[in-house]
Amino acid sequence: MVAAMQVDAGTGLIEPRPRRGAALDVSGVSHAFELNGQLLSVLDRLSFHAEPGEFVALLGPSGCGKSTLLRLVAGLEPPCAGRLSMDGRVIEGPDPSRVVVFQDPTLYPWRTVWRNVALGLEARNLLRHRREAIDDALRLVGLAGFATAYPHQLSGGMAQRAALARALVNDPMLLILDEPFGQLDSLTRIAMQAELVSLWQRSSFTALLVTHDVEEALLLAGRVIVLSDRPAQIKAEVVNKQPYPRHRGDPQLVELRREVFAHLGLDDSW
């Protein structure tokens, strides 16, 4: 966003202005799909709020409608009932201030990594003035040396990092993450989780993470919203005030994990 950049009068250098996270309001949202002539309810009167700069995780079993909720937040689809708003403005369509990182990196295979990251700026005709922003974003995710590579030459983790850079280059106020590390191997996943937390700490955007991985939710988020099976309803909210970086073996985290598992109805079986 051009508005996020300002020229420093003293040095004449362009400095990124401290960005601001957006507040997200979801109130009474219900959604349903038509499947083989039957109406399939996926979300049932869901309400929650995210403060500016907060890291919220939505945790729920597979197929509970988490991804649908993210599509509604992104503005890709309108909800059947209820209201979604960002900073008080109703979400009516996609907007580059809310960027999604999908489960699948879905880089465009015909574009180099650099041109994939440039996608958002190019779509809004901002590319000419902000070419350095792309180089910066690539450096941020550790892909500076792969600017001219094609997606098929990247590993799964590198592709997901490129997708992250493609999102971050737009200076989002709300970063929507749909199981972004679900397809990565466990080592890459751990590294990427740490990277995401440090990116979030530096950039102060609001992050909304959807995951079915309890540990991931507790490691990354300040607040975990536990969803029920389809149609998704909010079962519980678990607040995690522990400072970052967090450690998997931390006894407090283990205790929180037990609590979350109990909410998911798995207290005896693990």
Partner 1 sequence: MTPSALSDWVNAPMAAFRLLSAPVSMSCIGGFAAAAAWLAAAWVTAVWPDRPDTDWSYTGKLAAIFEVCAVAVACVSLAGIRFEALRRLRRSAPWLLALALFLLFWEVGTAKYGLLPLPFFPPPQAILEVLIDDWARLSDSIFASLLLLAGGVALGGSVGFVVGVAIGWSRAVGYWVNPMLRFIGPLPATAWLPLAFFIFPSSHSASTFLIALATGFPVTVLTWSGIASVNTAYYDIARTLGARPSFLVLKVAIPAAMPHVFVGLFMGLGNSFAVLVVAEMLGVKSGLGWYLQWAQGWAAYANMYAALLIMAAVCSGLVTLLFRLRDRLLSWQRGLLRW
Cα angle: 243, vertex 247, 249; to 5 degrees: 135
Residue choice 50, 69, 84, 99 for contact with partner 1 (CB under 8 A) = 99
Cα 118 to Cα 148: distance, rounded to the nearest angstrom:
12
Please, which residue, 98 or 212, has the CB nearer to partner 1?
98
Measured CA to CA, the distance from residue 23 to residue 20 in angstroms comes to 10
Distance CA 267, CA 189 (A): 26
- Rounded CA separation 114/136 (Å): 11
Q: Say which residue the tokens 């440090």 belong to.
A: 198
- In angstroms, the first-to-last Cα distance of the chain is 47
Residue 129 in the binding site for partner 1 (CB under 8 A):
no
Residue 262 beta carbon to partner 1: minimum distance, rounded to whole angstroms: 35
Using the rule CB under 8 A, which residue among 47, 106, 155, 201 binds partner 1?
A: 106
Per CB under 8 A, the list member of 51, 95, 136, 229 interacting with partner 1 is 95
What is the C-alpha radius of gyration for the chain, rounded to an integer number of angstroms? 19
Instruction: Work out which of 50, 72, 119, 208 binds partner 1, going by CB under 8 A.
Output: 119
Whole-angstrom distance, CA of residue 202 vs CA of residue 69: 27
- Does the protein bind partner 1 through residue 75 (CB under 8 A)? yes
Question: Would you count residue 174 as binding partner 1 (CB under 8 A)?
Answer: no
- Side chain identity at residue 196, one-letter code: L
Residue 229 CB, shortest distance to partner 1, in Å, is: 25
Span interacting with partner 1, options 47-55, 118-126, 187-195, 251-259, rule CB under 8 A: 118-126
Cβ contacts of residue 183 below 8 Å, gap of 6+? Answer: 103, 104, 156, 160
If binding is defined by CB under 8 A, does position 241 make contact with partner 1?
no
**CB-nearer residue toward partner 1: 20 or 111:** 111
19 binds partner 1 (CB under 8 A): no
Residues that bind partner 1 (CB under 8 A): 71, 74-76, 94-96, 98-100, 102, 104, 106, 108-111, 119-120, 122-124, 150-152, 166, 170
